[in-house]
Structure 1
Amino acid sequence: MKCSKIIIFALLTCCWACGPNHVYEAMHKFEDQQWQDQDAPVFDFSIADPAETYDVTCLIRNTLEYPKHNIYLTYTLEDSTGQVLDSELLKKDLFDATTGRPLGKGMGDIYDHEFALKTDFRFPHRGGYRLKLQQFVRNEGTSLPNIVAVGVRVLKKEK
């Protein structure tokens, strides 16, 4: 029964992700569910129509054993020449700080979160872009445990 729920969930996710407004989506999985301090996943994508507006979203997948209620991360958005278009440090909650209840959407002990990085954003020109994510959680050791993967989604806004 649990396997069939996972298969149905995966099929629905695939169908949703392949819609006409879907521009790009990718996930970076971490070895042993450990996001190392020096690991900064990079996501390269192309924009065909700079006249359109887009939403850029950060995706985080964690386990219930994640040791904190929030995560600090930075993102850097660059164009194909390396010019930084935007960079920001973000604090996002993965669990309710009071109750400890996991936020996001989950199945079993894995939870997915979506956080807007840019909304109604216009890329300045057609071509390639790069978005880099890096964690900045103060943690003993050199890694952030129980982070399964991080990713990026770019969607064209509906008119």
Structure 2
Amino acid sequence: MKSITPVSVLLLFLVAATCKKSSDFKEIRDFPKNEWLIAHKQTFEFTITDTAPTYRFNYLVRNSISYPFYNLYLQQKLVDSSGNLLSGSMDEVILFDEKSGKPYGDGMGDIFDCRIQAPKLQAMKFSKPGKYRWILSHNMRPDPLTGIMSIGVEVIRNPQ
């Protein structure tokens, strides 16, 4: 049996110390039958404890190659614990190259994952700590919208 050397312990400690959590908040929700109903708004609740930095928000979309459009319109609302609207917009998310039809994002086979910045939420400053909700819904005509396997969000503290 090999013994653990001080050098390997130090190396392990350094690797663990340099690893940082990539997201302050990340959650993904799967849709049954890969269908997203317009009425099924997705509410993601997260807590902000540090108000000094700004935060950036990303959409996390998993779609199949059979998704019938090149884009996805998302309606987003960011609200505080009192229900006050902090941000709201409709954002266009591009999932495929419009001309070639080549899917964007990381994928294998017919499933692709895209991380897309929420344009209005790349330097969000929170005035007070607390719970916040980010509410997403799609704004596409078909109902249900097929080919969307999951939707998620990511909130990341910007470096100071």
Give TM-score, length-normalised by structure 2.
0.83
Deviations 1:12-35 (A, max 9, x none): xxxxxx833521000111011000
Deviations 1:25-83 (A, max 9, x none): 00111011000111101000000111111111111110000011111110000001000
Aligned 8 A contact 1:50 1:123 in 2: yes
The equivalent of 1:133 in structure 2 is 136
Q: Distance in 1 between matches of 2:63 and 2:22?
A: 27
Aligned 8 A contact 2:53 2:159 in 1: no
Output aligned runs, 1:50-129, within 5 Å: 50-117=51-118, 118-129=121-132
Report the residue type matching 1:88 in the other structure.
Answer: S
Output aligned runs, 1:27-66, within 5 Å: 27-66=28-67
Name structure 1 gaps, 5 residues minimum.
Answer: 1-17
Q: Distance in 1 between matches of 2:61 and 2:44?
A: 14
Describe the shift of the 1:32–1:133 C-alpha distance in structure 2 as closer, same or farther (beyond 3 A).
Answer: same
Q: Distance in 1 between matches of 2:57 and 2:141?
A: 26
SS of the equivalent of 1:57 reads: strand
Q: Distance in 1 between matches of 2:26 and 2:36?
A: 20
Give TM-score, length-normalised by structure 1.
0.84
* CA displacement at 1:138 relative to structure 2: 1.5
Q: Distance in 1 between matches of 2:128 and 2:92?
A: 29
Q: Distance in 2 between matches of 1:76 and 1:65?
A: 28
Using the aligned pairs only, state the percent identity. 33
- Superposed CA RMSD in Å reads 1.2
Aligned 8 A contact 2:42 2:136 in 1: yes
Q: Distance in 2 between matches of 1:21 and 1:102?
A: 25
Describe the shift of the 1:50–1:95 C-alpha distance in structure 2 as closer, same or farther (beyond 3 A).
Answer: same
Report the residue type matching 2:49 in the other structure.
Answer: A
Q: Distance in 2 between matches of 1:37 and 1:19?
A: 36
Deviations 1:75-124 (A, max 9, x none): 00000100010010111211000000001111221111112121121112
Q: Matched residue pairs, number? A: 140
Does 21-30 or 40-49 show the bigger shift?
21-30
| Greater Rg by CA | 2
Aligned 8 A contact 1:21 1:157 in 2: no
